[in-house]
Every structure is written in structure tokens, then in C-alpha cells.
């Protein structure tokens, strides 16, 4: 059947799709391309150079921001993953649970509410109760909005896994926690891993909350990038952005690949 007579073929749709993917990746490509620009003006190309990467790696403010981001992201990821794992265990294994739907909505609440409102609300609460430790403020806030991103892959993995394994372990007199540690946890590990990585990326990339709660001493990488943008665009800014893009893409790709593989096996 030629495409002219194929009822499923729509002339023009293929072209729109190609243009769409071009448009989706062109901005990212532009940022990466100009990070190798030798010129001080970001979008005036004058030759290839990696000097902006060298400059970025010697920039103490940048490295400080990176350290803050990593501290917050790693801690928030651990907290969010543990909270999500515990909630997912209960929500997938007890169909008759009271308030099951409500609890599930509560876990996913950060996805439903506008981040700016939550950020402002946290700022007011934290300043009212005298919670002033900048790093701790960020960790608490990030843990909350990372939880649904850790929760969804873990729940998907648990839902795709039969409860028979745990029951078999318990029939063999394994204590509940032993059954979890030796049977359930190894089986859902891909989901836990994927969830943790997505939570990590979301925390590393966050701007709105980190900016609102920033006390000066706790500038995260995206907040630092924002302050650079305000000062004017430079190729060094592109080099920093490129590093952040690559880190996000690699970790997200790993997470998606792991959860896709786990789904196929399950």
C-alpha cells in the first residue's frame, strides 16, 4: 500500500513532527554550541575554544553553589526515597486501606500545587517559627517536592510485582522486615533506583523554591545561574549550563532506562 492510499497517513503530519523535534532540541543545542565560542559575546561566533570551561572550573562561587546543590540534592533524595518507599509499600499492599486514595493524593500533592505558592508558604512558615538554617530549610522543602518523583516509579514497580513472593517468604517464617529486606527490596530495587535518580535531578534543577528560600549563604547552582543571567549572558554561563544539561540528561536517561528494563522483565 503506498502512502497516498494509506488511510493512516496524514500529509504534513510527518513534517510537523520533524519540525517539532528540531524545535525541541535546537535551544539545548544552541546553549551547548555557544559554550565553545571563543568570543566574549555569547552569540557572536569567532572561533572554537574550551577556555570557558576552564574558567568555570576555577570559579569558586560556582563550585560553592555546586557543593550546596549536591548537599541538598543528595540529602533530599535519601529522605524523599525513604518516605516514598514506605508510603508505596503500604499503598500497594493494602487494597482495603482506609483513606487510600486520599493518602495517594497527599503523596502526590507537590505535583498538583503551584510551586511558587508552596515556596512562599514555606518561607512564611520558616521565618515565623525561626527556622533559619538555610541548608536545612532547603533540604526540608526539596524533600517534599521530590517525594512524588521517587514515589511514582517505586509504586509502578511494586504494582507490577506479585505479592506471592512476600507471602511465600512469610510462609517460610521470615519476619516481615526480613521478608522485605531479602525478598521485596531486591525485587523492587530498579524502581527505587529510578525514583531516587529522578528525585535527585528534580532537586538539582529546582530554581523557584531554592531562590525563594535562599538566605545568601545557600546559593544553589540554578540560583547562581540566575544571578549570572541577570548580570548578562556570557559563554561561561553557557559552559556552566552545558555541564548541568549533560548531568541532567545522563542521570534522567539512566533512570528511564532502568525503569523501562524493569517493566519489561516484570
Partner 1 sequence: MRGFRFWGLVPAWGLMVATLMVPLVIVALVSVAERGAYGGFAWAFTLEPYKEILFSEDWDGNLVFDPKYLAIIGRTLALAAATTAICMALALPVAYVIATRTPRMKAALIYLVTLPFWVSMIVRVYAWLIILGNDGVVGRAWAALGGEGTLLFTSGAMLVGMVYSYIPLMVLPVFAAIEKLDPALLEAGADLYASRWTTARRVILPLTWPGLAAGAILVFVPALGTVLEPMLLGGGKQMMMGTLIQSQFGGARNWPFGAAVALVLMAMVVLVLIANARRAMRKEARA
Residue pair 56/234 in contact by the 8 Å Cβ criterion: no
Q: How far apart are CA 262 and CA 197, in angstroms?
A: 15
259 binds partner 1 (CB under 8 A): no
Radius of gyration of the chain (CA): 23
Stretch that binds partner 1, among 59-67, 106-114, 154-162, 183-191 (CB under 8 A): 106-114
95 binds partner 1 (CB under 8 A): no
Residue pair 118/145 in contact by the 8 Å Cβ criterion: yes
CA distance readout (Å), 30 to 176, 223, 245? 53, 21, 12
User: Binders of partner 1 among 167-196, rule CB under 8 A?
Assistant: 176
Say how many residues touch partner 1, by CB under 8 A: 85
Tell me the sheet residues that pair with 48: 37
84 binds partner 1 (CB under 8 A): yes
Q: How far apart are CA 127 and CA 10, in angstroms?
A: 57
User: Binders of partner 1 among 132-171, rule CB under 8 A?
Assistant: 140-141, 143-144, 147
3-state DSSP assignment of residue 37: strand
Q: How far apart are CA 83 and CA 139, in angstroms?
A: 14
24 binds partner 1 (CB under 8 A): yes
27 binds partner 1 (CB under 8 A): yes
131 binds partner 1 (CB under 8 A): no
Would you tell me the crossing angle of helices 235-265 and 221-231 to the nearest 10 degrees? 150
- Which is closer to partner 1, CB of 107 or CB of 262? 107
254 binds partner 1 (CB under 8 A): no
Among 22, 63, 163, 249, binds partner 1 (CB under 8 A): 249
Among 55, 70, 78, 83, binds partner 1 (CB under 8 A): 83
What is the closest distance, in whole angstroms, from the C-beta atom of residue 206 to partner 1 in the complex? Answer: 8
CA distance readout (Å), 150 to 105, 106, 157, 172, 218? 14, 14, 11, 31, 24
Among 22, 54, 61, 90, binds partner 1 (CB under 8 A): 90
260 binds partner 1 (CB under 8 A): yes
Alpha carbon distance, N-terminus to C-terminus of the chain: 37
User: Binders of partner 1 among 109-128, rule CB under 8 A?
Assistant: 109-110, 112-118, 120-125, 127-128
- Which is closer to partner 1, CB of 60 or CB of 129? 129
b or e along 200-216 (b: 16 or more beta carbons within 10 Å of the residue's beta carbon)?
A: bbbbbbbebbbbbbbee
43 binds partner 1 (CB under 8 A): yes
Among 52, 222, 258, 259, binds partner 1 (CB under 8 A): 222
Residue pair 168/41 in contact by the 8 Å Cβ criterion: no
Residue pair 174/184 in contact by the 8 Å Cβ criterion: no
- Which is closer to partner 1, CB of 165 or CB of 207? 207
What is the closest distance, in whole angstroms, from the C-beta atom of residue 60 to partner 1 in the complex? Answer: 21
What is the closest distance, in whole angstroms, from the C-beta atom of residue 228 to partner 1 in the complex? Answer: 9
Amino acid at each position: 500500500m503506498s502512502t497516498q492510499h494509506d488511510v493512516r497517513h496524514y500529509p504534513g503530519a510527518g513534517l510537523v513532527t520533524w519540525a517539532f523535534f528540531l524545535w525541541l532540541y535546537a535551544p539545548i543545542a544552541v546553549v551547548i554550541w555557544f559554550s565553545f565560542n571563543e568570543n566574549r559575546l555569547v552569540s557572536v561566533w569567532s572561533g572554537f575554544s574550551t577556555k570557558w570551561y576552564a574558567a568555570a572550573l576555577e570559579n569558586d562561587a560556582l563550585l560553592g553553589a555546586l557543593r550546596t546543590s549536591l548537599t541538598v540534592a543528595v540529602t533530599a533524595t535519601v529522605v524523599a526515597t525513604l518516605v516514598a518507599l514506605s508510603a508505596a509499600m503500604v499503598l500497594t499492599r493494602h487494597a482495603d486501606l482506609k483513606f487510600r486514595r486520599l493518602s495517594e493524593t497527599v503523596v502526590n500533592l507537590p505535583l498538583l500545587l503551584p510551586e511558587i505558592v508552596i515556596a512562599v508558604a514555606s518561607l512564611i512558615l520558616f521565618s515565623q517559627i525561626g527556622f533559619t538554617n538555610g541548608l536545612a530549610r532547603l533540604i526540608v522543602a526539596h524533600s517534599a517536592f521530590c517525594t512524588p518523583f521517587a514515589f511514582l516509579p517505586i509504586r509502578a514497580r511494586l504494582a507490577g510485582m506479585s505479592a506471592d513472593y512476600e507471602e511465600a517468604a512469610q510462609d517460610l517464617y521470615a519476619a516481615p522486615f526480613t521478608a522485605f529486606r531479602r525478598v521485596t527490596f531486591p525485587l523492587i530495587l530498579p524502581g527505587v533506583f529510578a525514583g531516587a535518580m529522578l528525585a535527585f535531578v528534580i532537586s538539582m534543577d529546582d530554581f523557584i523554591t531554592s531562590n525563594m528560600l535562599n538566605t545568601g549563604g545557600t546559593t544553589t547552582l540554578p540560583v547562581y545561574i540566575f544571578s549570572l543571567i541577570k548580570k548578562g549572558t556570557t559563554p561561561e554561563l553557557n559552559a556552566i549550563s552545558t555541564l548541568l544539561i549533560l548531568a541532567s540528561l545522563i542521570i534522567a536517561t539512566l533512570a528511564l532506562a532502568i525503569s523501562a528494563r524493569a517493566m519489561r522483565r516484570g
